[in-house]
């Protein structure tokens, strides 16, 4: 009989129990597709007595995930604990040292330690697979490393945090302010224990850094990702963007330019009729552009038990079938450190401001923009109250450096009611 692939499962939260369900309920299908049985030998989690809704009594229990990783009857460590350091990293390192392959959904660990872990794994002849770490059920890592291996990738971008997309689309649909929808998302359990991981763009930034490493053949460099969250987005921004034919998304974009590698995760305006503009709720979308394939769009659920467990099992099945692919699509030792771009590609920007109701206020703003080399494409002034007038400006393409120069000067004007809000308008 063909030897089974034996899993050691570290972490029995939402995704971990989802993996148990797939292995138990689809045993015959997995064996038929892999050409060998896929089984779970042992599990580990913080607490043993919790009712997780799946039977665990037939699996050995290890209190220490490092001990689990070192077991002789484990071929693959499935690491689903999370956290950039601590037990997750220690268990991963122990598995590699013990000659095991690793499947993980841990984006934070790989964003911070992916290069070192990949080099250690490849030096030992082992694998690290991480489809579940980036876009839930969307197989974007497989697409980049396999399906598009014959392309020079020119740009990757996407909406990669379902919580932020839920908040922004819910604001659009209901007219509720950010604070109300944020609290609604918290009550529904959509937010991380530390909400800034979601709304601050950190979670999605981890994912973008991993995609960029594969797409552009470079080392993971999360520290070079420019991060801006959605906390400053108001219902007025949502409405004004819609008036001009746009929708606001927390958008990750990475592209290699003559100035270096751009990696930015920030709220952007995208055309309302584009695939990204039409993306609703907690769904994720990844857009990949290559010199041969041009543009492809991948859309699907970005989190949750079923989608992420599905991605984890896709990696397990590849290992069961004997597929051996370097962690980031090419040998880790061959990856160079990309030079971060000193300036992003020029783009038009949306500016929202409120001006004091004083003669010549708008002329002062226009002068400041002109002196910084920023030209105005269109402008709208909305009905004002007794003392201030809301003004929207869309610029022609400009650099962020030029715009920042103008914004600094604007803040010094005696006609500004508050600091202007600037959002990039991304071509998609």
Catalytic residues: 207
Q: Which two tokens stand for residue 168?
A: 């922004």
Residue closest to 139 by CA, chosen among 254, 299, 370, 358: 299
Alpha carbon distance, N-terminus to C-terminus of the chain: 52
On whether the CB atoms of residues 100 and 120 are closer than 8 A, the answer is no
What contacts 97, CB < 8 A, 6 or more positions away?
120, 124
Give CA angle at 377 (165, 355), nearest 5°: 80
- Write the DSSP assignment of 357-426 as a string of letters: S-TTHHHHHHHHHHHTT--EEEEEE----SSEEEEEEEEPSB-HHHHHHHHHHHHTSTTBSSPPEEEEE-
Query: What distance in Å separates the CA atoms of residue 251 and residue 265, rounded to the nearest whole number?
Result: 6
* Number of other CB atoms surrounding residue 190 within 10 Å: 18
On whether the CB atoms of residues 96 and 66 are closer than 8 A, the answer is no
On whether the CB atoms of residues 306 and 25 are closer than 8 A, the answer is no
Query: How does strand 260-271 pair with strand 246-257?
Result: antiparallel
CA torsion 171-174-179-181 (nearest 10°) is -80
Burial class of residue 286 (count of CB atoms within 10 Å of its CB; 0-12, 13-18, 19+): buried
Query: What distance in Å separates the CA atoms of residue 286 and residue 283, rounded to the nearest whole number?
Result: 10
Query: What distance in Å separates the CA atoms of residue 77 and residue 94, rounded to the nearest whole number?
Result: 10
């Amino acid at each position: 009989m063909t030897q089974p692939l034996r899993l050691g499962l570290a972490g029995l939260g939402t995704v971990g129990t989802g993996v148990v369900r797939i292995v138990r309920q689809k045993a015959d299908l997995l064996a038929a597709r892999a050409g060998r049985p896929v089984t779970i030998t042992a599990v580990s989690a913080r607490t043993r007595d919790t009712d997780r809704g799946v039977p665990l009594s037939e699996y050995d229990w290890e209190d220490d995930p490092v001990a689990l990783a070192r077991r002789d009857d484990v071929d693959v460590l499935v690491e689903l604990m999370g956290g950039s350091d601590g037990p997750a990293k220690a268990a991963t390192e122990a598995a590699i040292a013990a000659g095991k392959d690793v499947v993980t959904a841990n984006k934070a660990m790989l964003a911070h330690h992916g290069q070192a872990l990949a080099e250690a794994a490849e030096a030992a002849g082992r694998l690290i697979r991480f489809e579940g770490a980036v876009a839930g059920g969307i197989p974007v890592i497989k697409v980049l490393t396999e399906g598009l291996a014959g392309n020079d990738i020119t740009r990757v971008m996407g909406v990669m945090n379902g919580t932020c997309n839920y908040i922004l689309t819910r604001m659009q649909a209901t007219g509720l302010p950010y604070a109300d929808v944020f609290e609604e998302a918290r009550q529904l359990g959509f937010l991380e224990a530390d909400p800034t991981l979601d709304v601050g763009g950190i979670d999605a930034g981890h994912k973008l850094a991993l995609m960029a490493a594969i797409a552009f053949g470079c080392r993971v460099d999360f520290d070079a990702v420019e991060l801006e969250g959605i906390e400053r987005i108001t219902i007025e921004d949502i409405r004004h963007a819609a008036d001009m034919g746009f929708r606001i998304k927390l958008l990750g974009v990475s592209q290699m330019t003559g100035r270096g590698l751009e990696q930015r995760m920030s709220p952007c305006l995208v055309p309302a009729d584009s695939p990204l503009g039409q993306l609703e709720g907690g769904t994720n979308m990844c857009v990949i552009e290559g010199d041969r394939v041009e543009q492809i769009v991948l859309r699907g659920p970005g989190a949750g038990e079923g989608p992420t467990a599905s991605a984890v099992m896709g990696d397990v099945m590849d290992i069961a079938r004997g597929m051996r692919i370097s962690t980031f699509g090419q040998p880790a030792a061959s990856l160079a450190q990309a030079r971060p771009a000193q300036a992003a590609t020029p783009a038009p920007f949306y500016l929202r401001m409120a001006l004091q109701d004083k003669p010549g206020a708008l002329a002062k703003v226009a002068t400041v923009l002109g002196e910084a080399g920023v030209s105005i494409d269109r402008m709208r002034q909305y009905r004002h109250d007794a003392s201030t007038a809301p003004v929207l400006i869309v610029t022609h393409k400009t650099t962020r450096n030029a715009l920042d120069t103008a914004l600094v000067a604007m803040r010094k004007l005696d006609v500004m009611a508050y600091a202007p809000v600037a959002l990039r308008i991304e071509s998609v």
